Amino acid sequence: MNVSYLLKAIEAPQSDSDDSFIGGKPKLPPEQSIPVCGLCNAPQTFYFQVGFPSDNTWAGLSLATFACTSCADKKQLIPAMLKVKLPGADIPEGFLESYQVNFRFLVFETAKAVLHAAYKEKVAFRRLDLEPANPKVEGNKIGGSPTWLQEDESPKTYAGKVPMFFLLQIERGFQFPTVPGAPPQIKIGLSGNPQPANYAYYKLFITNATYLFGTEDRAQPLVYALTQVP
């Protein structure tokens, strides 16, 4: 079962009871550390997390998304793409771990998560309300059907046997406003070199439309990310 929910961002103070939200402090299992960038070794920035509802394949699990804002590499602006025919691709074993170089998806039991008090927030907190919606609705959403900007690129399986399903999507152009004093995101400038951005928000995967798929095997919950532009 994979019912659709629109993700509605609401301005509100962060609470221990929030399971779906943008920015603020991540809510993680106590033993989970903040992931570091595989390019520059800096702690990655927390972007958002969602706690999946009871009618989702990943009910009882949460997904937290991190990405590096301290460096930029022209070859790592978006997640690595599969070198196989889409849709219906089989994702090679090991790919879903190795492609997470300067970003990281953490999946864990929602009930075991607590606020990571030591994390210095960079993205401004906004609560995410889950609003039941038509499976084909457009927007930032959990479940339902992907709203593709180009052709369907849904993978079918992982490692030749584990079925994949659609987790969520983030609309093209979505921005993550930063808190006052947050360091600027490093971007690739017109010269082709890394430089600080001059805007008060962070971009995830250069604001391409982002689609996340998950493994149906809850004992090994892994995430495949791909992006599209018109």
What's the alpha-carbon Rg for the chain, to the nearest Å?
17
Residue boundaries of the structural domains of the chain = 5-228
Could you tell me the pLDDT band of residue 178, with boundaries at 50, 70 and 90?
very high
Domain 5-228 top-level CATH class: mainly beta
Report pLDDT for 86.
Answer: 87
Residue 150 pLDDT > 70, yes or no? Answer: yes
User: In angstroms, rounded to a whole number, what is the distance separating the alpha carbons of residues 73 and 63?
Assistant: 25
pTM of the predicted model, to two decimals? 0.97
User: In angstroms, rounded to a whole number, what is the distance separating the alpha carbons of residues 210 and 226?
Assistant: 6
pLDDT digits (tens, 9 = 90+) for 156-168: 999 999 999 999 9
Closest CA to 163 of 24, 28, 37, 2: 2
Element (H, E) at 186: strand 186-188
Asked if residues 9 and 18 have their Cβ atoms less than 8 Å apart, the reply is no
